[in-house]
Amino acid sequence: MDKTETKRLTKKAVDLDFVQGNETIVQIGEGNFMRGFLDWMFHQLHQKGLYDGTVATIQPTPHGKIVPVLQAQDALYTTILRGKLDGEIVDDAELIQSISRGINPYSDWEEVLKLAYSPHVKWMFSNTTEAGLVYQKEDYERGKSPLSFPGKVTAFLYERFLYFDGAHEAGINLVPCELIEDNGQVLKQIVGRIAFDWELSDAFMKWVDEANIFCNTLVDRIVTGFPRGEEDVWAKRLGYEDHLLTVAEPYHLFVIEPERPIANVLPFQEAGLNVKWENTAQYRELKVRLLNGLHTMMFAACYLAGETTVSGALANPKLRRFIETGLKEELLPVVEAEEVEKLAYAETVLERFENPFLAHQLTDIGMNAIYKFQTRLLPTLAAYEQQNAEPKRLLFSLAALLVYMKPVGKEGAFLKGDSGGASYTIRENEGTMSLLEEQWSSFDNSSQSLEETVSLLLQAEELWGQDLSRYRQLVSLYVDALLNKGALAVIESL
């Protein structure tokens, strides 16, 4: 199909009737992740006849650009699932019809209030990123949208409380999807703090606590969003132009932990979706320690060995052996989770890393890598310390991280060895960058030895939250080998 023949996506263009159904779900956040994760899930419920409620999605910030496009496309968009699932290649396109409309609360706050007054609304979901789920002191003017996400939630609940005269049955279920531990309880605490700022009544706060249910969650799916540069390819394949096309991996996991039982849970599991209504702790442990932990363990070593993407590293037999062995022999044994559950999750991690459609850049994983190592891998190292053991691949990954962070300046670092001198951006806070520059410069000008440099970096509690100099002997040996022999040679010796 020529570009001139391609239609703009609308219900008329694809011969669809308008979906008639009550708006039962309020969603704050209309970005790629929610469209490729949650709204995709609600579409699966619709397709199987398990749920007929629709989603009204609300723009979370004044600068959003998605709502006008969503309205122009009759709230339609396409999700592309690409990757491997259960050993099979998946490359599927699906037109999603679960959203009823998008609302800009800064120009149409009255439409948000109509949702607050609706007896059909039972759920509120959100994803405003970690930066959105924070307390922000602000004034409240009735009839005008608060700026912050928690402010919007507080105003929505207050208007609902007033409209329904504090009726217990008017409470809703709030399910934040921001990547913050105990996100439901964090949101509830911030709502309470804002209600105090606004001098709202004790009766309102009692209603918030007793009539509404806040859920902690864990979400897991890689959503890469709009496939830039491939617009014409997809327009030809689909037969229409979709400016909200959203690409995601096939794997998904959604864990929802209500603070108390919910009377009528959404039938995700009946639709065959990987949704679990239970405590998030075990699944957070699996995700952080295995998926995120393996990313952090492998990225610097594999980049220094000449690869640039996660899938490229898995396609390299020598690096794959390092990655698989590190996962199965060093990460997996000390993760506290049910044996069957963690083994199954480990297999999905490797399959997801192999995704041939996803060019997950190792340098992207390397952003804020010091903090990531502290939160993702230091708990694993601590478990081995209790056993008086030194996991060599984990400590090699620490050495590789130090070499990767050997800066030329604040905007980049220079690779030695296998990668041939490419430069890349490193993002760390100013204090971390200054410390790295100071110590590596002292080594480069020969004012201190390599072992002294490594020891000083490891004992810097501002980097790791603790003194890691107990690992200096083995880490120094690995750093020396990386600088003089190259990463691939050291990885082979492991």
The C-alpha atoms of residue 330 and residue 370 are separated, in whole angstroms, by: 20
pLDDT of residue 7: 87
Burial class (CB within 10 angstroms; exposed 0-12, middle 13-18, buried 19+) of 146 = buried
CA distances from 41 to 50, 233, 275, 390 (A): 11, 26, 10, 43
Quick one: pLDDT at residue 350? 95
| DSSP bridge pairs for 57 | 27, 102
Continuous segment of H or E residues that includes residue 190: helix 183-197
DSSP designation for 361: B
Q: Tokens standing for 175?
A: 């399910």
Q: Parallel, antiparallel, or unpaired: how do β-strands 240-241 and 246-248 relate?
A: unpaired
Architecture of the domain defined by 3-277 = 3-Layer(aba) Sandwich (3.40)
- Is the CA virtual torsion 393, 322, 303, 370 positive or negative? negative
Q: What is the H or E stretch that residue 110 is in?
A: helix 109-116
Query: Under 8 Å CB-to-CB from 279, ≥6 apart: which residues?
Result: 257
Tens-digit pLDDT profile for residues 102-125: 999 999 999 999 999 999 999 999
Output the pLDDT for position 3. 45
Write phi, then psi, for 49 (nearest 5 degrees).
Answer: 65, 25
By the 8 A CB rule, do 51 and 102 touch? no
CA 444 to chain CA centroid, Å, is 38
Q: What does the block give as tokens for 54?
A: 């629709």
Beta pairing, strands 173-176 & 88-96 = unpaired
> What is the C-alpha separation between 121 and 134, in angstroms, rounded?
25
241 touches 8 (CB < 8 A): yes
For the domain spanning 282-493, the CATH number is 1.10.1040.10
What is residue 414's predicted lDDT score, i.e. its pLDDT?
41
Token pair listed for 71: 């309205």
Contact 56, 101 (CB under 8 A): yes
Q: Are 97 and 35 in contact (CB under 8 A)?
A: no
* DSSP secondary structure letters along 278-322: S-SHHHHHHIIIIIIHHHHHHHHHHHHTT--BHHHHHHSHHHHHH
First to last CA, the chain: 53
| Contact indicator for 28, 149 with CB cutoff of 8 Å | yes
Helices (H), 335-412: 339-353, 362-365, 369-376, 378-386, 392-404
What span, in angstroms and rounded, lies between the C-alpha atoms of 337 and 283? Answer: 8
Dihedral through CA 297, CA 299, CA 302, CA 306, nearest 10?
-170
Q: For 185, list phi and psi in degrees, rounded to 5.
A: -70, -35
| Rounded CA Rg of the chain | 25
Rounded-to-10 torsion of CA 81, 85, 87, 88: -30
Distance CA 344, CA 77 (A): 32
Cβ-contact 407, 426 below 8 angstroms = yes
Interstrand relation of 213-220 and 246-248 (parallel, antiparallel or unpaired): unpaired
- The answer to whether the pTM exceeds 0.75 is yes
Instruction: Give strand pairing partners of 56.
Output: 26, 101
Q: What size, in residues, is the chain?
A: 494
CA distance 78 to 407: 42
| Paired residues of 93 in beta bridges | 80
Give kind and range of the element (H or E) at residue 489: helix 487-493
pLDDT at 38: 98
Sort residue 362 into left (φ over 0), alpha (ψ -120 to 50) or beta: alpha
Tokens 């081995």 correspond to: 384
Contacts of 234 (CB under 8 A, 6+ apart): 78, 80, 227, 242, 245
Average pLDDT for consecutive 10-residue bins of the chain (494 residues)? 67 76 94 97 96 96 94 96 94 96 97 98 95 95 96 98 98 96 97 98 98 98 92 95 96 97 95 96 94 96 94 96 97 92 93 92 91 94 92 97 77 42 77 92 92 97 96 97 94 93
Q: For the beta carbon of residue 205, count every other beta carbon within 10 angstroms.
A: 16
The Cα–Cα gap between 240 and 6 comes to 5
Closest CA to 246 of 405, 118, 66, 414: 66
Output phi, psi for 359, to 5 deg: -90, 75
At 428 the pLDDT is 84
The answer to whether 212 and 122 have CB atoms below 8 angstroms apart is no
* pLDDT at residue number 6: 72
Q: Where are the domains of the chain?
A: 3-277, 282-493
Kindly report, residue by residue over 209-264, the tens digit of the pLDDT.
Answer: 999 999 999 999 999 899 999 999 999 999 999 999 999 999 999 999 999 999 88
Which amino acid, residue 359?
A
